[in-house]
A = this chain, B = another copy of it.
Amino acid sequence: MNTLETAPQAQPQQPQPEANGDASVQQRSVDWDNPRVSAILAAAAKCFARKGFSATTLAEIGKELGLRKSIVHYYFASKAALIHEVQSFTYHKYLDRVKEAVRATGEADPKQRMLSALRSLWDVMQNNKTATGLNIEVWSAARRDPELKRRAAALQHDARKLIGDGVTDVLGSRAADFPQMEALSSLILAVLNGLAVAEFLEGEDQAKTKDAYDAFLYLLRLGIRSMDGGAAPAKA
């Protein structure tokens, strides 16, 4: 699997991540700005999400792009290395879209901004079934691949931090009054993951998962109001 004999002559610009190395998720060394690299990562995400890691070959991923398997090998030394990179790549793409969607709403009020952000998280997830399929595959494969599990845990941690920062932004100076910030971030992430699974299994009932998310946002608004000592909001 490591033959590079038919690969292009030029050397990769940056070292590839080790399949089982201890490089942190932050210390990314694959050049996502290289159009060919990002095309391979996007094609791999699609194939992995559809068929799973073990049933997908590097040759199939190359075929999606009209590339020889050797070219895929040139950029990714092994399928394990590609899997790890696809996971980070897809996750960061997802977050980029969320950030863009939040910015696009241009909400000035922090509470409205938080609700916008939570709606954006949902909408982006709706339009990114590949990310859901890939997540499920990662969770499954993580049981057999400690490095994948470590990376998945690090991404969960990043996502929680991002959500926590967003909530802190809303609560402002009162954030200190709310000792359960981390718990709340974990909860929001769990709701997104859990509803993504439900929607994947019961695809025909998308309205149901949307209603469940709305019910969650309603409860969150109650939580925020209770801190203000205000009345309960109108039901969503």
Interface of A with B (CB < 8 Å)? 50-52, 54-55, 133, 136-137, 139-144, 149, 152-153, 156-157, 180, 182-184, 186-187, 189-195, 197-198, 200-202, 208-209, 211-216, 218-220, 222-223, 226, 232, 235
- A221–chain B nearest beta-carbon distance, Å: 10
* Cβ B218 vs Cβ A223 within 8 A: yes
Nearest-neighbour CB distance to chain B for A58, whole angstroms, equals: 19
Given contacts A193-B198, A211-B182, contact A139 B140 (CB under 8 A): yes
A136-B140, A149-B201, A153-B201 given; A189·B182 CB < 8 A: no
**Distance from A178 Cβ to chain B, minimum over Cβ atoms (Å):** 9
Whether A144 contacts B198 in the complex (CB less than 8 A), given A180-B215, A208-B182, comes out as no
Measured CB to CB, the closest approach of chain B to A208, in angstroms, equals 6
Neighbouring B residues of A200 by C-beta, 8 Å: 139, 142
Task: Verify A194–B189 contact, CB threshold 8 A.
Answer: yes
Contacting pair B51 A201 (CB below 8 A): no
Across the A-B interface, give the 6 residue pairs with the lowest CB-CB distance, nearest first: A190-B194, A194-B194, A140-B140, A186-B212, A183-B211, A226-B232
Known: A195-B190, A211-B186. A202 touches B51 (CB 8 A): no
Other-chain residue from B52, B144, B191, B194 in contact with A144 (beta carbon distance below 8 A): B52
Whether the pair A156, B198 counts as a contact (CB closer than 8 A) is: yes
- Tell whether, in the assembled complex, residue A143 and residue B50 are in contact, meaning their CB atoms are under 8 Å apart: yes
- Alpha-carbon distance A149/B192, docked complex (angstroms): 20
Which of B142, B183, B213 has a CB less than 8 Å from the CB of A201? B142
Assess the B201–A195 pair: CB atoms within 8 A.
no
Q: Are B186 and A208 in contact (CB under 8 A)?
A: yes
Q: Is the CB of B51 within 8 A of A54?
A: no
Bound together, the chains give a CA A133 to CA B195 distance in angstroms of: 18
Kindly state the separation between the CA atoms of A118 and B142 in the bound complex, as whole angstroms: 28
Measured CB to CB, the closest approach of chain B to A50, in angstroms, equals 7
Enumerate chain B residues within 8 angstroms of A153, measured Cβ to Cβ. 201-202
| A37 vs chain B, min Cβ distance (A) | 26
Q: Please, how many angstroms separate the alpha-carbon atoms of A191 and B216 in the complex?
A: 10
Q: Once the chains are docked, how many angstroms separate the CA of A206 from the CA of B201? A: 27
